Amino acid sequence: MGQDAFMEPFSNTFCDLQCNIYFLLLGICSALRLTVPSHTIHGIEGQPLHLTVDYNFNTTASEIQIIWLFEKPQSIPKYLLGSVNQSVVPDLEYKHKFTLIPPNASLMINPLHVTDEGNYIVKVNVHGNGTISANQKIQVTVDVPVTKPAVQIEPSSGVVEYVGNMTLTCTVGKGTRIGYQWMKNGKPMHASSSYTFSSNNDTLLIVPVMKEDIGNYSCLATNPVSAMESEIIAPTIFYGPYGLTVNSDKGLKVGEVFTVDIGEAILFDCSADSNPPNTYSWIRRADNTTHVIKYGPHLEVLSEKVAQTTVDYMCCAYNNVTGKQDETHFTVIITSVGLERLAQKGKSLSSLAVITGISLFLIVSMSLLFLWKRYRPHKGR
């Protein structure tokens, strides 16, 4: 008996728990389900906005009530309109702005203004054997689409690498809540040791400017309802000269030495990467002295008819904007390889002529001897 008395509280608690679970499951089966596609909707100023709401329930309903409220931050929700079954009762202040067509609970806002930004609360009450209700909150933002941005570069006349800095500014005529993204050659740019962005990203500062900064730049302006990209702009960057080289159309090149046959004309070309284009000068060194022999990227050398002549040259490239200069040295060796080959060819022809002459002489001599022996007169015995 004492044991029954001890177990009785636990038995009552278990029965209460069973009842609670039963009624909870019963409530779920007959509960009202209210859903919205998204809890945040981005609208465009001046255009209509449709707030879609769906609901369903598994019970008999004699009345369906729909209520829409509007709430701004730190303010009391305001009644917009409501309905009971097919009857709609709007707030007269918003009679022509909001539309509700029950039993559909969706709300139409037309037109949408910046002042319409805030939270919209929908509540649905279903009355049958009892009353069940559900509500949802939708945050609405209102934005003005961005117009096409424009990019300005300072200085617009160009900048010398490692000397100057460059500032790119992106401006937009219209738009709200604008975000900026800088692009280079179609790819997003990120902050680095050379790239610095303003707090709202509308300005790009390049310090210092380098040759690697050459490219196509653009600004992408976006907000929740639109995106526009500026025209491509290519800044002017002065650099160089870099990679100075000398090449020729003839002869054999080994390192910085060109070998040319006597009597052969050779054209040299001097080139280097630079902006603006370089000014080129050709210098010849002889007897420990140097003198400029030509200006321009090309030099033609007429090899003298003197065997084994060595001549030293130098090509200088100068950029008159960057003030930088580069030079390269090379040597031209004039050889008699061509004449030796001609002499060897002449000797081969002379030897062949001698052999041919001797052969003809022997043939003719043998023929005469044969004829003489055959037709000579015989003496009588």
Q: What is the mean pLDDT of residues 347-372?
A: 66
Nearest to 39 by CA among 110, 120, 108, 125: 120
Which of left, alpha, beta for 263 (phi over 0: left; psi -120 to 50: alpha)?
A: left
Q: Mapping DSSP to helix (H, G, I), strand (E, B) and coil, where does residue 308 land?
A: coil
157 vs 365, higher pLDDT? 157
- Six token digits for residue 175: 């738009």
Residue 341 has pLDDT above 60, yes or no: no
Under the banding of pLDDT at 50, 70 and 90, the label for residue 366 is confident
In what helix (H) or strand (E) does residue 303 lie, and over which residues does it extend?
A: none
Other beta carbons within 10 Å of 146? 23
* CA distances in angstroms from 189 to 194, 204, 229, listed in the order given: 11, 10, 14
Over residues 137-155, mean pLDDT: 98
pTM of the entire structure? 0.72
Q: What is the pLDDT confidence band of residue 326, given thresholds at 50, 70 and 90?
A: very high
Note the Cα 372 to chain centre separation in Å. 101
Residue 260 · residue 301 · CB < 8 Å: yes
Check residue 111 and give its pLDDT. 94
Q: In whole angstroms, what is the distance from residue 381 CA to residue 378 CA? A: 9
Which of 202-216, 280-294, 302-316, 367-381 is predicted with the least confidence, judged by mean pLDDT?
A: 367-381
The residue ranking higher by pLDDT, 55 or 364, is: 55
Q: Which of 26-40, 269-283, 353-367 has the highest mean pLDDT?
A: 269-283
Say which residue, 300 or 254, is predicted with more confidence: 300
pLDDT tens-digit profile of 188-226? Answer: 999 999 999 999 999 999 999 999 999 999 999 999 999
Distance (Å, whole) CA 241 – CA 325:
7
Kindly indicate the confidence band of residue 20, based on its pLDDT and cuts at 50, 70 and 90.
Answer: very low
Q: pLDDT tens digits for 42-77?
A: 999 999 999 999 999 988 889 999 999 999 998 999
* Cβ partners under 8 Å of residue 328, min gap 6: 244, 245, 246, 256, 270, 314, 315
Residue 218's Cβ-side half-sphere holds a number of Cα atoms within 13 Å equal to: 13
Least confident of 77-81, 128-132, 374-378: 374-378
Higher pLDDT residue, 372 or 9?
A: 372
- What is the C-alpha separation between 193 and 172, in angstroms, rounded? 27
- Whether the predicted pLDDT of 17 surpasses 50: no
Q: Which domains does the chain have, with CATH numbers?
A: 34-143 (2.60.40.10), 150-235 (2.60.40.10), 239-338 (2.60.40.10)
Which residue shows structure tokens 């370089």?
Answer: 278
**Model confidence at 378, in pLDDT bands (50, 70, 90)?**
low
pLDDT at 2 over 70: no
Mean pLDDT of 273-286: 94
pLDDT of 302 = 80
Position 41 confidence tier, pLDDT thresholds 50, 70, 90: very high
More confident call, 28 vs 117: 117
Residue type, 200: N
pLDDT in the model for residue 50: 98
Question: Residue 353: pLDDT band by 50, 70, 90 thresholds?
Answer: low
Residue 251's H or E segment, with its range, is none
Are 161 and 238 contacting, i.e. CB atoms less than 8 angstroms apart? Answer: yes
Q: Which residue has the higher pLDDT, 323 or 365?
A: 323
289 pLDDT band (50/70/90 cuts)? Answer: confident
Distance CA 172, CA 288 (A): 65
Alpha carbon of 346 to those of 54, 233, 251, 351: distances in Å? 107, 68, 24, 9
Note the pLDDT of residue 254.
81
Mean pLDDT over the full length of the chain: 85
